[in-house]
């Protein structure tokens, strides 16, 4: 009943075609250069063909493969323009669309999950999907009470495909390196595999979305669609109009980019404290800029979709983050070092120079040091180059630092959000959001472990 490729051998063959296809195109490119074609022209065409194949394979497979592509699309701002250009539009397409499942398959799923009389629940139902996600696609419809709704239908076999894809992609991580130069792909895949299976449980997603919708219901800068109905692998929520963030990134005005960026930062820092949850999938396809016809940027809101992957933080963001950030900005290198050591960021067997650690952190926390910071692809590329270059002191020091498991998802979400801010080129009052929402930054006492060990 499904057109989703589920057999492991079929999916493995398709995924294997990515690095093999790249190798074949490299040989093709060499032949063209020998034949007298411009190296720049051949290189551009080679990258474009690779990007097209990447979209075709990941989009058709959906599941974990598409989730991997969406994760990569957030980080494209760290790549040099000559490398990022051919991938930018292709990877961004993965955030909003993918080859759809046939209507007959969708109808069969709805009949199985909602009952044979499922059409009675809807006054209208559009067979053509409005959007596609990594494990499901969304259809626009009208609920029986007249409300416009989004019907999210999980692909049959999505769970099996999800686990299979991420396992196979992990095996191919080294071979996939040429697709996204300069990115350490294997840890990204491992982290996705650990967390992304929660997305299969639409009951958990509905619960998280209800929590966010309740907390941001009144007088909020955010619009969270309410949950209308949930049953097994079908989730029905209120429909939300708005400008997809990918369109704002591509063609948005300065006001649109700045407002979207400010609200995205506010959402990142305010969410855990207000809801006890961290929205852990911050790619542009999950956000809309909602203007409601107003020309005043202060009236615009950020619409948020897809609560399938969240980090549960009952106490909000750990205060250690805010305390360490404040100390680093105030020049307290020794205190920062002892605090990081106590939290497991520096293993007991390793001794590092506190000033070197602070120097490593300062460029990363630069947006919090000023009243307003302009994020840009150039800044992101500079940070990536500084940390990724094996010859740099920052790279050598970074290899000796440790990321405790409890901070892993927080770290990825923060980096992903910064990547989107850089794609927007947004001017953001980051310090204002940190002071308002990040525990520990405003001046709370330092934990006793830090005081006694400093």
pLDDT given for residue 219 in this prediction: 75
Report the distance separating Cα 164 and Cα 14, nearest Å.
12
pLDDT given for residue 42 in this prediction: 33
pLDDT given for residue 435 in this prediction: 95
Report the distance separating Cα 178 and Cα 267, nearest Å.
34
Pairing relationship of beta strands 227-231 and 148-154 according to DSSP bridges: unpaired
- Residues (pLDDT < 50) of the chain are 1-6, 8-9, 19-44, 46-47, 62, 64, 74, 95-97, 178-183, 445-454
- Tell me, what DSSP letter sits at residue 2? -
- Which of 288, 284, 293, 292 lies closest to 303 in space, CA to CA? 288
| Average pLDDT over all residues of the chain | 78
Q: Is 305 helix (H, G, I), strand (E, B) or coil?
A: coil
The active-site residue out of 184, 194, 201, 281 is: 281
pLDDT in tens, 125-152: 999 999 876 678 899 999 999 999 999 9
pLDDT in tens, 66-87: 555 555 554 555 555 555 555 5
Is 281 an active-site residue? yes
Domains of the chain with CATH codes: 8-95+159-197 (no CATH), 103-157+198-238 (3.30.200.20), 319-453 (no CATH)
């Amino acid at each position: 009943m499904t057109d989703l490729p589920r057999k492991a051998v079929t999916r493995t063959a398709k995924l294997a075609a990515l690095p093999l296809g790249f190798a074949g195109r490299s040989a093709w490119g060499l032949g063209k250069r020998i034949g007298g074609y411009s190296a720049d022209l051949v290189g551009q065409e080679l990258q474009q063909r690779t990007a097209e194949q990447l979209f075709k394979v990941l989009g058709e497979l959906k599941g974990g493969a598409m989730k991997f592509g969406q994760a990569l699309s957030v980080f494209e701002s760290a790549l040099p323009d000559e490398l990022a250009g051919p991938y930018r539009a292709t990877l961004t397409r993965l955030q909003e669309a993918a080859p759809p499942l046939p209507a007959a398959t969708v109808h069969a799923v709805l009949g199985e999950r909602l009952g044979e009389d499922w059409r009675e629940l809807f006054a209208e139902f559009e067979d053509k999907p409005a959007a596609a996600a990594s494990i499901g696609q969304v259809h626009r419809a009208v609920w029986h009470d007249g409300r416009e709704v989004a019907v999210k239908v999980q692909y049959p076999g999505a769970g099996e495909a999800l686990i299979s894809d991420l396992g196979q992609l992990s095996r191919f991580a080294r071979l996939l390196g040429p697709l996204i130069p300069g990115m350490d792909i294997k840890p990204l895949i491992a982290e996705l595999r650990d967390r992304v299976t929660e997305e299969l449980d639409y009951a958990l997603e509905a619960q998280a979305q209800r929590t966010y919708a309740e907390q941001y219901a009144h007088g909020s800068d955010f619009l969270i669609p309410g949950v209308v109905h949930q049953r097994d692998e079908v989730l029905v929520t209120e429909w939300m109009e708005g400008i997809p963030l990918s369109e704002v990134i591509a063609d948005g005005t300065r006001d649109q980019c700045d407002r979207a960026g400010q609200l995205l930062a506010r959402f990142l820092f305010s969410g855990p404290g207000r809801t006890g949850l961290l929205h852990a999938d911050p790619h542009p396809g999950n956000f809309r800029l909602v203007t409601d016809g107003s020309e005043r940027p202060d009236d615009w809101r950020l619409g948020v979709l897809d609560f399938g992957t969240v980090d549960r933080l009952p106490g909000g963001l750990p205060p250690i983050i805010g305390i360490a950030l404040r100390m680093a900005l105030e020049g307290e290198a020794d205190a920062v070092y002892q605090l990081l050591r106590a939290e497991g960021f520096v293993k007991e067997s390793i001794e590092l120079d506190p000033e070197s650690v602070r120097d490593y952190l300062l460029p990363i926390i630069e947006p919090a040091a000023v009243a307003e910071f302009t994020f840009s692809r150039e800044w992101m590329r500079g940070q990536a180059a500084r940390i990724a270059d094996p010859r740099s002191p920052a790279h050598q020091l970074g290899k000796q630092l440790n990321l405790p498991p409890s901070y892993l998802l927080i770290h990825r979400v923060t980096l992903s959000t910064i990547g989107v801010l850089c794609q927007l080129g947004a001017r953001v009052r980051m310090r204002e959001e940190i002071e308002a929402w990040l525990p520990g930054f405003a001046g709370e006492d330092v934990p006793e472990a830090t005081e006694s060990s400093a």
